[in-house]
Chains A and B, each alone.
Chain A
């Protein structure tokens, strides 16, 4: 079998590295869940406007003359620490990261299967259309991880003094929504491409 072009080998190398990193990430998350450290932490955003009333407005709305700039959200960044967390609390603290690394790892594995067909010089096959669709769905799943983060935070803070403080998840994954739909469109291109190719096979 002929050696594949450098571009394909590079792509494959990067994807293998991504899969390896995802695997390390999963192992690290599991280690953090089961190692029994004293403090579990997560970066969160505290939004005082969520709980503010007219009487105790927690922070003035930043205003200034036109042309001035000010960092208005940095003071909201906080690290939520759970002292001596039990197993379920550790799990809830790390659930979003764990799910993210699992999903990215799955994307890398499917991508590797896809790239293998590039090596074989036969990418426009129905299987690749399905693989791209799987990647698209996984990316759309990543876009919904902030909801999981909110859910896990609510479960973590339920019954604690921080329950009504207005703690929010720190990250959003809107990019995954955009990329997910783009990959799904690409999957459709592959599906139609493979159909066209199949139509021309056997054409004399």
Chain B
């Protein structure tokens, strides 16, 4: 595999979930993404996110994309 490209995007999914008192499993069920993939996203190991996934997460967590993803140089 080629070396992973460096990026400085941090995912704040754990904070959003904690603020709303929602579990990862519950969110996974609501947005139709596997818990494995959501866990990858939450732990910052995702390399890309589909607009459809982002949109579904924002819908379920009632937030904006900027609340979920921040640039962290």
Contacts and interface: CB of A to CB of B under 8 A. Distances in A.
A204 interface: yes
A204 B2 contact: no
Interface in B1-50: 1-2, 33, 37-38, 40-41, 45-50
Question: Most chain-A CB neighbours within 10 Å: which of B33, B40, B47?
Answer: B47
What is the size category of the interface that chain B forms with chain A? 10 to 19
A203 B2 contact: no
Contact of B37 (A125, A199, A204): A204
Interface string B40-62: 11000111111001000000000
B49 A204 contact: yes
A198 interface: yes
B1 A204 contact: no
Question: Most chain-B CB neighbours within 10 Å: which of A200, A201, A203?
Answer: A203
B64 to A, nearest CB: 18
A125 B45 CA distance: 21
Given A203-B47, A203-B48, A204-B37, A198 B53 contact: no
Given A126-B1, A204-B48, 6 more contacts: A198-B2, A200-B48, A202-B40, A202-B46, A203-B48, A204-B49
Interface of A: 125-126, 195, 198-204
